[in-house]
């Protein structure tokens, strides 16, 4: 699983000009799922994300986690995170998992995040044409790939 994590002051996702989910201070997480991802990737990634110390403490140092500040989460499925651009100018998405694999893992990721935070997790709609708005705080943007954890 690949993620782009953005610390935000606020974020929202709209589908057909209607807001589906919105959050205030917290994390916007773009997640791409590949064929080889498993429940182990889901759990490792969810735990890693909620414990990342990327929020400022009273001394303006990034020492606090999402759990520490009781921040919110918005998760958006993003198969394009697995784009291969080595050959030609048209990206290939061959590593991205098909919906039959990706949807259950995406839903498990939402559940795992909810289990760690004990709060509702905002989300887009898997496979939908979505418009995402955010106010990036910092900016702080971090990429994590569950396959690069070793």
The pLDDT of residue 83: 85
Residues 6+ apart with CB under 8 A from 68: 53, 55
Domain count for the chain:
1
141 is catalytic: no
Cα gap 33→48, rounded to integer Å = 16
Q: Which regions in the chain score pLDDT beneath 70? A: none
The pLDDT of residue 37: 95
The catalytic position among 3, 38, 80, 141 is 80
| Mutual angle of helices 39-51 and 99-117, in 10-degree steps | 40
Domain assignment of residue 27, given as a range:
2-148
Model pTM?
A: 0.94
The pLDDT of residue 127: 86
The pLDDT of residue 144: 96
The pLDDT of residue 82: 85
The pLDDT of residue 134: 97
The pLDDT of residue 23: 98
The pLDDT of residue 87: 87
The pLDDT of residue 97: 92
The pLDDT of residue 113: 98
Q: What is the CATH number of the domain that holds 15?
A: 3.50.80.10
Question: The dihedral of CA 111, 113, 117, 123: what is its sign?
Answer: negative
């Amino acid at each position: 699983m690949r993620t782009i994590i953005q610390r935000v002051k606020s974020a929202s996702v709209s589908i057909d000009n209607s807001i589906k989910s919105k959050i205030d201070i917290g994390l916007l997480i773009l997640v791409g799922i590949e064929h080889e991802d498993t429940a182990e990737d889901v759990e490792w990634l969810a735990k890693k994300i909620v414990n990342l110390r990327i929020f400022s403490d009273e001394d303006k140092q990034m020492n606090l986690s999402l759990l520490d500040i009781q921040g919110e989460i918005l998760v958006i499925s993003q198969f394009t995170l697995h784009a291969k651009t080595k050959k030609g100018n048209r990206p290939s998405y061959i590593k991205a998992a098909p919906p039959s694999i990706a949807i259950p893992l995406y839903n498990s990721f939402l559940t795992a995040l909810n289990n760690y935070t004990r709060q509702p997790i905002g989300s887009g709609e898997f496979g939908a044409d979505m418009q995402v708005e955010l106010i990036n705080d910092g900016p702080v943007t971090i990429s994590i790939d569950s396959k690069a954890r070793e």
